[in-house]
């Protein structure tokens, strides 16, 4: 048993830190909140070879493990760097599994794909569902029409604007879910976005499909892609928790009140240790997700849902604690803490939301 990072993983992480810190800039994110363009780092992603991380070598990718991809997302999350990997990577696992023609372009990053995320059936809810535009009821997944085209609406699709290809689920007349790939340039495809300027590092779009031509991808498992997305979002959230903790601890050592550094007070100290506790829990479950993806696939749905839950809650807590640690100043526009808060608030509600991943943890175990 060895859960330490391998030398290759250490190298991957260090390379990622180096490359990402060249583009990381909180000031740019604040400007983007006020209308400036969202920072685009796809060029860097392609150049670093990250686009093909999860694509097999046969299809032109690097064929690394899911945990390697999670390590990269941790580093991106630490610095709140925007990327389009949350949409692209799960999509490429489906392209790769079906050996979709032109997968190599997506592995190289000359083209970009987005995952049209659909939640698989569970122990209670038996249908494939997608994000609704508003409200707590989930929407039906798009329909695969008899003529092979796809129709339907999917809201809040991560990284959809500007993507070349959408990869997701459509349900045919017999109720069977099929994995489909849809060129965004095709007729009947409309992507509204970027929508929602709340977390300016995040790229979201609302997708409308009206008899859009689609290719059915045989051999691809769209449920697995959903959980890949959950695991990646967990990793990205975990990275943000790391920064929130580091920054808060530093401040708590330096800031004095009533003659003592604030970090010497139990309320502050215990709150910071609570971030640590939740962070450690999240990392442990992320290990589970990474390990089960390849070595215990029947537990991957559980592990990825648990990772999303643990990391999401950890970020919820850490982002608030970061503001509280910094007192009034932590809630001001110029401070960086609000950027982490915005990240936590929006992430909590994407890809089914944390409530859904938590429900799935229960559902997977109840059905076992």
Q: Residue 152 to residues 23, 66, 139, 352: CA-CA distances in angstroms?
A: 37, 30, 10, 18
Using CB under 8 A, pick the residue from 113, 144, 154, 361 that binds another protein: 361
Residue 134 binds: one of a copy of itself, another protein, none (C-beta under 5 to 8 A by kind): another protein
Q: Token pair of 165, please?
A: 């290809």
Using CB under 8 A, pick the residue from 143, 208, 215, 358 that binds another protein: 358
Q: Which of 334, 337, 342, 330 is nearest to 201 (CA)?
A: 342
Residues 172-211 that bind another protein (CB under 8 A): 196-198, 204
CB 322 within 8 A of CB 337: yes
Q: Residue 332 to residues 12, 31, 249, 268, 294: CA-CA distances in angstroms?
A: 35, 15, 19, 20, 44
Using CB under 8 A, pick the residue from 7, 135, 146, 185 that binds another protein: 135
Using CB under 8 A, pick the residue from 97, 168, 338, 343 that binds another protein: 338
CB nearer to a copy of itself: pick between 265 and 291: 265
Residue 328 binds: one of another protein, a copy of itself, none (C-beta under 5 to 8 A by kind): another protein
Instruction: Tell me the angle at which helices 7-23 and 66-79 cross, rounded to the nearest 10 degrees.
Output: 30
In the complex, the smallest distance separating the C-beta of residue 337 from a copy of itself, rounded to whole angstroms, is 22
Q: Residue 43 to residues 25, 47, 111, 216, 325: CA-CA distances in angstroms?
A: 16, 6, 11, 29, 36
Q: Token pair of 348, please?
A: 């909590």
Residue 281 binds: one of another protein, a copy of itself, none (C-beta under 5 to 8 A by kind): another protein
Residues 6 or more apart whose Cβ sits within 8 Å of residue 50:
16, 72, 83, 85, 109
Q: Is 304 in the site for another protein (CB under 8 A)?
A: no
Residue 59, judged by CB atoms within 10 A of its CB (0-12, 13-18, 19+), counts as buried
CB nearer to another protein: pick between 17 and 281: 281
Q: Token pair of 71, please?
A: 């390590």
Q: Is 94 in the site for another protein (CB under 8 A)?
A: no
Q: Token pair of 214, please?
A: 């689609």
Q: Is 27 in the site for another protein (CB under 8 A)?
A: no
Quickly count: other Cβ atoms within 10 Å of residue 101's Cβ.
10
- Part of the chain binding another protein (CB under 8 A), chosen from 48-56, 101-109, 235-243, 265-273: 265-273
Number of residues binding to another protein, judged by CB under 8 A:
100
Dihedral sign of CA atoms 56, 62, 63, 65 in order: negative
H-run or E-run covering 252: helix 222-254
- Part of the chain binding another protein (CB under 8 A), chosen from 18-26, 44-52, 211-219, 251-259: 251-259
CB nearer to another protein: pick between 210 and 332: 332
Q: Is 156 in the site for another protein (CB under 8 A)?
A: yes
Q: Is 140 in the site for another protein (CB under 8 A)?
A: no
Q: Is 332 in the site for another protein (CB under 8 A)?
A: yes
Q: Is 341 in the site for another protein (CB under 8 A)?
A: yes
SS3 category, 199: coil
Q: Is 273 in the site for another protein (CB under 8 A)?
A: yes
CB nearer to another protein: pick between 173 and 258: 258
Residue 132 binds: one of another protein, a copy of itself, none (C-beta under 5 to 8 A by kind): another protein
Terminal C-alpha separation, the chain:
26
- Part of the chain binding another protein (CB under 8 A), chosen from 19-27, 80-88, 236-244, 289-297: 289-297
Residues 104-133 that bind another protein (CB under 8 A): 124, 131-133
Q: Is 297 in the site for another protein (CB under 8 A)?
A: no
CB nearer to another protein: pick between 229 and 306: 306
- Residues lying near a copy of itself in the complex (CB under 8 A): 265-267, 270
Q: Token pair of 53, please?
A: 């991380």
Residue 211 binds: one of another protein, a copy of itself, none (C-beta under 5 to 8 A by kind): none
Q: Is 28 in the site for another protein (CB under 8 A)?
A: no
CA dihedral 304, 305, 310, 312 (to 10 degrees): 100
């Amino acid at each position: 048993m060895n859960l330490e990072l391998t030398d290759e993983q250490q190298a991957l992480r260090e390379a990622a830190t180096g490359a990402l810190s060249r583009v990381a800039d909180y000031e740019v994110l604040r400007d983007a909140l006020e209308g400036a363009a969202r920072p685009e780092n796809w060029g860097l992603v392609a150049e670093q070879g990250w686009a093909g991380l999860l694509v097999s070598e046969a299809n032109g990718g690097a064929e690394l493990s899911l945990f390697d991809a999670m390590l990269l997302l941790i580093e991106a999350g630490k610095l709140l760097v925007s990327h389009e990997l949350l949409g692209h990577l799960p999509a490429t696992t489906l392209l790769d599994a079906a050996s979709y023609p032109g997968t190599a372009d997506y592995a190289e990053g000359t083209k970009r794909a987005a995952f049209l995320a659909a939640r698989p059936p569970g122990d209670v809810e038996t249908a494939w569902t997608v994000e609704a535009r508003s409200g707590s009821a989930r929407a039906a997944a798009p329909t695969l029409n008899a003529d092979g085209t796809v129709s339907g609406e999917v809201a809040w699709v991560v990284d959809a604007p500007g993507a070349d290809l959408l990869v997701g689920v459509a349900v045919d007349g017999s109720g069977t879910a099929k994995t489909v790939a849809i060129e965004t340039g095709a007729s009947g495809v409309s992507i509204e976005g970027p929508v929602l300027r709340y977390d300016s590092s995040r790229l979201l779009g609302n997708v409308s499909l009206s008899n859009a031509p689609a290719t059915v991808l045989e051999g691809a498992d769209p449920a697995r892609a959903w959980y890949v997305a959950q695991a990646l979002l967990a990793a990205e959230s975990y990275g943000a928790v790391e920064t929130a903790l580091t920054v808060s601890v530093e401040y708590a050592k330096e800031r004095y009140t009533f003659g003592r550094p604030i970090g010497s007070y139990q309320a502050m100290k215990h709150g910071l240790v609570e971030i640590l506790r939740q962070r450690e829990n999240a990392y442990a479950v992320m290990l589970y997700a990474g390990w089960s993806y390849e070595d215990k696939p029947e537990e991957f749905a559980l592990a990825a849902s648990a990772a999303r839950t643990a990391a999401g809650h950890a970020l919820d807590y850490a982002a608030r604690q970061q503001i509280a640690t910094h007192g009034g100043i932590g809630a001001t526009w110029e401070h960086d803490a609000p950027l982490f808060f915005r990240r936590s608030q929006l992430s909590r509600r994407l890809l089914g939301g944390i409530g859904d991943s938590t429900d799935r943890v229960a559902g997977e175990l109840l059905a076992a």
